[in-house]
Every structure is written in C-alpha cells, then in structure tokens.
Chains A and B, each alone.
Chain A
Amino acid sequence: MIKRPIYEASAFVLSFLDYGESDRIVTFFTDKYGKIKGIAKGARRSKKRFANAIELFSHSRILFSRNRKDSLFLIENSDVIDHYPKIREDLEKTMAASYIIELAAHFTAEGKKSKKTFSLLKDFFEFLDRKKFTEESLRFFELRLIKLSGYEPVLEVCVACNTPLDEIKAPRFSATDGGIVCVECSRQRPGSLPVSVGTLKMLLMGKEMEMEKIHRLNLSKQSSRESKAILESFIPFILGKELKSVRVLKEIKRLMV
C-alpha cells in the first residue's frame, strides 16, 4: 500500500451533509488550508476516529489526506478542541453561530487560505461562548468578514464624489456602490438607505476593535437599527442572494414574541 501524505489542521465545521449509511461530507474552515471539503467515512457511527467532533461550528483538530487531485479530501480523524457548550445550551446563541458559519461559508472560497478569517471565527465563537449575546455583535463580525473578503464598504467618504463624512449632512448608504453617498450623489440612487453620522462612526470604530471589547460598545437603538438595515441590504447584494438562515432566524424570532 502506498502511504498517502497526511495533513493536519485546526478547523471549524461550516456545514455537513449526511451521505450514505453513516458517512458525512463536511466543509471545514481550517487555519492552514482555508476552506476544504472532505468525506468522513463512518462519521455518524465511529466514536473512535471522529469522537463526535463533526458538529456544526465545533472547533477540532483534523487529520486528512487526498486520494488524487480534484476529489474530496478524506477526513481520517478529528478530535474536538471546543464544542462551545455555552453556545449550544442557548437557542439565540446557537442561531447566531449558525448564521455566522453560513455567512463564512459564502464569503470564503475553497482552498484559499486566510489565517485572519480563521482567527475571526475563533474569536467570535469564544466571545459568543463567554459573553452575553447581543444582536449588534453580529454587525461587527459581518463587517470584518466582508473586509477580509475584499468587499469592505467605504464609510469615510462619499463613494461617488469623495466628500469626507464630516462634511456630509445626511449620509445615505448605497449597497450597489458599496459605501456611503452624500446628499447630492444620493439623488441618483433611489435605493440608498439613510444612516446617521453617529452610526457610521460607531461602525468605523468597531471595525478595528478587539472582539473581546466589542460587548462594551453600546449602540443606541437608532444605530442598531441603521447598521442592521445597511448590512441587510449590502450582504445579499455582494452574494447575489439571501442567506437561508436569515429567514429562519426571523421565523424563530416571530415565534418567540
């Protein structure tokens, strides 16, 4: 038997699909190889090789190999590093984490490595596991992920005429232009959304802040609403579609009131 090279990585489970009697096709985001897709044979049965680590958003150490080029990786083994029990025992946190991994799956490309994206996921799950969940924290995650994927929105100046934010009276956000526009420029952009200077400054500040400190940012009701609205219009515009978990999260929220 020819020995195949075995790769090792630290990984988050972004999604999986049950396949056959007990296999699982898994998409991981790894520290060393970016997003990879592999098959874990017997994953739903084997306690020894997979130690139940193939669970959504769990962090594990995986060993994998490849049979030949362009086929799925073969996941040989996985050991859990963190299941994030505090996320799992909280419905809201679990739903937020589910959204995060769907977002990450869409904003990353297979085989394109990004240590920063890996750290962002890790920081966010640790934050979610330890701290109280706030809807606003999702905005900062979204902004960072978008930035790492190369779609960072322009929030400092009008994207069309370069007028600096401080000189814009009533800025608006235009998803199709990927940034804010001044009053003049917004006239030709009927789909743009109003956003206050305060909200924009908060987002600019939060973008650079450590995840650990994010929960200290206290967004006003208005800022919270505005930042949600602009990201809700910007993300589907970049991806060219609505994320499925967004609809499910709304459905659950409606059920809970």
Chain B
Amino acid sequence: MTGYAPPIRRLIRELNRFPGIGEKTATRLAQFILKSPEENAKRLAESIIEVKKKIRFCSTCFNLTEDALCEICSDPARENGIICVVENPDSLIAIEESGSYSGTYHVLHGVLSPADGIGPGSLRLTELMERISENTVKEVFLATNPSVQGESTALLIMKLLRDKDIRVTRIGLGIPVGGDLKYVDKMTMAKAIEFRRGI
C-alpha cells in the first residue's frame, strides 16, 4: 500500500474497515472509485452521509426508519396486539419478506452475550416492557435466533412476562439450531411463523 498517494491510501484504509473487506478488495474498490466519473463518486459519498443523517430508530419498535415512527408502526392495518421480538433489523426484514406476519415488531438490537458484557441493560428491554404494560398487547412472539444467545434472551423475556396475562409464543420448527433467521428461506419462515408455539 506504501506506493499509493496518501489520499488513495486513506480511502483504502477506510474501505478496509468494512466487514469482510480485506486489504486486497479494498484496493480494488478504491481503484474502481478512482476510475469512475466524479458524479458517481459524489452520489456514493452523499448516500453515505444521507443514511447517517436521516436514519434513526423508530420511537416505538426501534426498527430503522426515516421518520419518528417506522412504516410498520404507522400502518393502521397492522395488528398492534401482537409484538414480534427480534434481535436485529435483518431478522425483521426476513420475517417481513415471508409475507405471513401482520403484527408489529420490537427490535432488541442485540442478544444476551455474557462474555461480551452484553446483559439485559444493553438491550431494548425496558422499552419492550413499557409497551407491554400499556395493556393492548395480547401476544408476544419471540423470534430471536435459535442460537444459545437468542434462546437465552427468549427465556429471559419469558421470565419477565410470567406474571402477566399475555400469550407468549416462540418461533416454530424448521429453523435449525444455531441458525440465523436472515438465511431462512421464505417458505420455511412462513411455516415457522404459522406454527409458532405457546411457551
């Protein structure tokens, strides 16, 4: 990398920060940007800034949104008596794409991970409990991943809800142990939602 002019080196270093992008790929991307018309480079830079400036968390469900409320929370057709609890926006998108869920969501933005120091306080749990105590919620559908961390997070939420008169369900069969909802195909997902089981 030493042979490159400092601005190119800086760009390579920035691109190198992306997940899964090694130095070689970063160099290739930098060269592509260097060769492309200024217009394109500008558009790329602007959309990066735009995402950072405009995207924020939905004040109700913590999904990513441009407005105070996300599209799902502001849609009157969605059943707000059901909250589907997911780890991250990727899981939410995977469930939405299956087209078989019509309730609302709650994005935790993480799961319990003791060795990483991630406990209940690092998740959006207080906000979830507040939503639930508002009384209109009939079902909490736990759709954290079937990994050790996802399962223990579901167990924790279940314990927090044990004294409340609420149906608690867990995403159904078909999703393998240790799997990630992000990689589940639409058919399997639709089945896993349909056959969610009471716990």
Task: Given the known inter-chain contacts A244-B115, A244-B116, A255-B120, please indicate yes or no for A56 contacting B183, CB distance below 8 A.
Answer: no
Task: Given the known inter-chain contacts A19-B20, A20-B20, A247-B119, please indicate yes or no for A90 contacting B148, CB distance below 8 A.
Answer: no
Query: Does B114 count as interface, using CB distance less than 8 angstroms?
Result: yes
Interface residues of B (CB under 8 A from A): 19-20, 112, 114-121, 147-149, 151-152, 155-156, 159-160, 176-180, 183
Contact B160 A244 (CB under 8 A): no
- Residue of A19, A56, A90 ringed by the most chain B CB atoms within 10 A: A56
Among candidates A88, A99, A249, A255, residue contacting B151 with C-beta atoms closer than 8 Å? A88
Point out the residues of chain A lying under 8 angstroms from B148, CB to CB: 55-58, 88, 94, 98
Contact B159 A55 (CB under 8 A): no
8 sampled A-B residue pairs with Cβ under 8 A: A52-B177, A55-B178, A88-B151, A91-B156, A94-B148, A98-B114, A243-B115, A249-B114
Query: Does A44 count as interface, using CB distance less than 8 angstroms?
Result: yes
Q: Which of A1-49 contact B (CB under 8 A)?
A: 15, 19-23, 44-45, 47
Query: Does A166 count as interface, using CB distance less than 8 angstroms?
Result: no
The distance from the CB of B111 to the nearest CB of chain A, in whole angstroms, is: 11
In the complex, A105 Cα to B114 Cα: how many Å?
13
Point out the residues of chain A lying under 8 angstroms from B155, CB to CB: 89-91, 94
Task: Given the known inter-chain contacts A54-B178, A99-B114, A252-B119, please indicate yes or no for A94 contacting B20, CB distance below 8 A.
Answer: no
Contact B119 A251 (CB under 8 A): yes
Residue of B nearest to A43 (CB): B178
Contact A256 B151 (CB under 8 A): no
Among candidates A54, A244, A256, residue contacting B117 with C-beta atoms closer than 8 Å? A244
- Residue of B20, B151, B155, B180 ringed by the most chain A CB atoms within 10 A: B155
Contact A102 B115 (CB under 8 A): yes
In the complex, A242 Cα to B76 Cα: how many Å?
49
Task: Given the known inter-chain contacts A52-B176, A52-B178, A94-B151, please indicate yes or no for A245 contacting B159, CB distance below 8 A.
Answer: no
In the complex, A90 Cα to B155 Cα: how many Å?
7
The distance from the CB of B171 to the nearest CB of chain A, in whole angstroms, is: 15
Point out the residues of chain A lying under 8 angstroms from B147, CB to CB: 55-56
Contact A248 B118 (CB under 8 A): yes
The distance from the CB of B187 to the nearest CB of chain A, in whole angstroms, is: 15
Contact B120 A251 (CB under 8 A): yes
Residue of B nearest to A18 (CB): B19
Query: Does A83 count as interface, using CB distance less than 8 angstroms?
Result: yes
Task: Given the known inter-chain contacts A19-B19, A56-B149, A94-B148, please indicate yes or no for A248 contacting B114, CB distance below 8 A.
Answer: yes
Task: Given the known inter-chain contacts A19-B19, A94-B151, please indicate yes or no for A245 contacting B179, CB distance below 8 A.
Answer: no
Point out the residues of chain A lying under 8 angstroms from B151, CB to CB: 88-89, 94
The distance from the CB of A83 to the nearest CB of chain B, in whole angstroms, is: 6
- 11 more A-B residue pairs beyond the given contacts A47-B176, A255-B160, with a C-beta to C-beta distance below 8 A: A21-B20, A23-B20, A52-B179, A88-B152, A91-B152, A98-B114, A98-B152, A102-B115, A245-B114, A245-B117, A251-B119
**Binary per-residue interface labels of chain A (72-96) against chain B in the complex, 1 for a CB within 8 Å, 0 otherwise:** 0000000000010000111100110
Contact A53 B178 (CB under 8 A): yes
Contact A94 B179 (CB under 8 A): no
